[in-house]
């Protein structure tokens, strides 16, 4: 039962090897997908930052707001990721 589940989740183990051309294609596709994901993340950061900046504030009292800190850290992470790819 456990073996069937592991085979379902991870697939069948491949005993052979992939050719260099196939490995290069896989690496290139992974690199392109990482770049695309990073740009989508950056678009989400910009979208939610804009929504937060334009939103009506509920109180005049200055309280700690975690969203600007969290979105700033995520922006830093995304920019680092974009720079690395």
Q: What is the pLDDT of residues 10-68, one digit of tens each?
A: 887 777 788 889 889 999 999 999 999 999 999 999 999 999 999 887 777 778 888 89
DSSP state of 16: S
2 pLDDT higher than 90: no
Question: Does the model's pTM come out above 0.85?
Answer: no
75 contacts 52 by C-beta, under 8 angstroms: no
At 7, the pLDDT band (50, 70, 90 cuts) reads confident
Residues in the chain: 85
């Amino acid at each position: 039962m456990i073996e069937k589940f592991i085979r379902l989740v991870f697939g069948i183990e491949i005993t052979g090897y992939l050719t260099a051309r196939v490995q290069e294609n896989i690496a290139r596709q992974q690199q392109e997908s990482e770049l695309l994901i990073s740009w989508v993340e950056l678009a989400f950061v910009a979208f939610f930052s804009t929504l937060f900046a334009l939103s009506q504030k509920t109180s005049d009292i200055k309280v700690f707001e975690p969203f600007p800190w969290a979105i700033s850290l995520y922006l830093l992470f995304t920019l680092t990721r974009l720079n690395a790819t």
